[in-house]
């Protein structure tokens, strides 16, 4: 039953065909045993992915279907993964929801590899295998180290949220971190953060627009404001799987279901789905807009906007955009918007949820 809920029929056929071939080589059995130990005992998806990458390299030398190797390994260890989830008290429905991400990325691989089954987003998928990333309905959740360069505060009386940028960040003329999207810098400022006599002074982002206001520093009285989250602390990140239903009811259900499993009063997210500029290319009542507007937004430095790969395609770039084919209304609107010289941004966000 589990296997049929994890893989499509086409993937199952590809795995069945390749499984016996890989089993016939002692190297792959040894590689699999080490990978399984890293995932199920050590909970180390990063090093497990490195081990599999070396297995893929070995399979290429033997002219085997190399990128099917991680899928075969997952198929082999799936019963033990299920038992591990059960031992952690994670219900079967959450296990099955969480494993859906594997087939999503196999589908993406097929799109760019002539409909062949395979997997190249290995480390990310292995986070689900270890239980680090769990899916509840429309959303995935993960305990992470908070890294956004902002301190997040909450007003003790009103519950209002504010954020202050950390020290030494270069900011361009429009309030984005210098180098974001490779954009030109006409004027550059630098942030500072000063704690003095029960106050903290720094530069605050517009939490609706996701840009830093460098015109005037903000001072918060720490008797009125409590620090909720600072870089280096544990946080809960939310991820949005491809094809997720972002209707308000489904998002509410996902958030409510996850509360039982995670500590913390804030969710953090970085995504193209956080970008306020989506309001220029989507209808006001769009589910994506509704989801985006739940979050307080802050700038994030990225070399190029994530929306290019996630909406247009992983092989798309600004250089290819003019001749890149469109098949959805969102792709058409995005292409028109960008070719007019306008910008989209990968954006950071946070959401009070408890």
Q: Domain containing 186: what range?
A: 137-354
Is the pLDDT confidence value at 14 over 70? yes
| Contacting residues for 185 by C-beta, under 8 A, at least 6 apart | 172, 173, 178
> Do 235 and 106 belong together in one domain?
no
Q: What is the pLDDT of residues 332-345, one digit of tens each?
A: 999 999 999 999 99
Contact 122, 70 (CB under 8 A): yes
> Would you state the pLDDT for residue 273?
98
User: Model confidence over 159-171: pLDDT tens digits?
Assistant: 999 999 999 999 9
pLDDT of the residue at 4 = 52
CA distances for 270 relative to 80, 199, 266, 288, angstroms: 32, 29, 14, 14
Number of domains in the chain: 2
**pLDDT tier, 354 (very low <50, low <70, confident <90, very high otherwise):** confident
pTM score > 0.85 for this model? Answer: yes
**First vs last C-alpha separation in the chain:** 35
* pLDDT tens-digit series, residues 36-85: 999 999 999 999 999 999 999 999 999 999 999 999 999 999 999 999 99
**Per-residue pLDDT tens over the stretch 266-304:** 999 999 999 999 999 999 999 999 999 999 999 999 999
Do residues 274 and 331 both lie within one domain? yes
CA dihedral 95, 101, 104, 108 (to 10 degrees): -150
Structure tokens at 209: 């627009």
Q: Are residues 67 and 145 part of one domain? A: no
- In this predicted structure, the answer to whether residue 331 has a pLDDT above a threshold of 60 is yes
Q: State whether 151 and 300 are in the same domain.
A: yes
Confidence of residue 1 (pLDDT cuts 50, 70, 90): very low
Asked if 329 and 199 sit in the same domain, the reply is yes
- Considering the domain architecture, whether residues 120 and 211 belong to the same structural domain is answered as no
pLDDT at 350 over 60: yes
Q: Which two tokens stand for residue 55?
A: 């297995």
């Amino acid at each position: 039953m589990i296997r049929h809920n994890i893989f499509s029929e086409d993937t199952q056929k590809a795995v069945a065909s390749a499984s016996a071939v890989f089993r016939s080589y002692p190297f792959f059995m040894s590689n699999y045993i080490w990978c399984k130990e890293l995932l199920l005992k050590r909970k180390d998806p990063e090093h497990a992915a490195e081990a599999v990458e070396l297995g893929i390299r070995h399979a290429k030398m033997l002219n085997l279907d190399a990128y099917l190797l991680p899928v075969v390994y997952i198929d082999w260890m799936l019963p033990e993964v299920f038992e591990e989830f059960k031992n952690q008290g994670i219900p079967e429905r959450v296990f099955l929801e969480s494993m859906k991400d594997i087939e999503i990325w196999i589908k993406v691989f097929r799109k760019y590899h002539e409909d062949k089954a395979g997997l190249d987003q290995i480390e990310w998928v292995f986070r689900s295998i270890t239980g680090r990333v769990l899916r509840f309905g429309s959303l995935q959740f993960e305990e992470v180290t908070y890294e956004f360069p902002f301190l997040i505060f909450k007003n003790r009386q009103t519950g209002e949220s504010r954020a202050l940028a950390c020290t030494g960040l270069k900011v361009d003329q429009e309030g984005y971190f210098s180098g974001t999207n490779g954009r030109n810098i006409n004027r550059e400022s630098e942030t500072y953060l000063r704690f003095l006599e029960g106050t903290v002074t720094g530069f605050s982002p517009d939490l609706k627009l996701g840009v830093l206001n460098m015109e005037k520093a903000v001072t918060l009285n720490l008797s009125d404001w409590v620090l909720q989250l600072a870089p280096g602390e544990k946080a809960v990140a939310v991820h949005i799987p491809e094809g997720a239903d972002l209707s308000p009811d489904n998002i509410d259900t996902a958030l409510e279901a996850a509360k039982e499993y995670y500590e913390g009063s804030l969710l953090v997210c970085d995504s193209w789905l956080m970008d306020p500029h989506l309001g220029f290319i989507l209808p006001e009542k769009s589910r994506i807009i509704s989801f985006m507007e739940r979050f307080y937004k802050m700038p994030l430095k990225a070399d190029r906007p994530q929306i290019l790969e996630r909406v247009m395609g992983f092989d798309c770039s600004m250089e290819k955009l003019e001749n890149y084919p469109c098949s959805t209304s969102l792709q058409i609107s995005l292409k028109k918007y960008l070719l007019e010289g306008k910008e989209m941004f990968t954006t950071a966000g946070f959401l009070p949820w408890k």
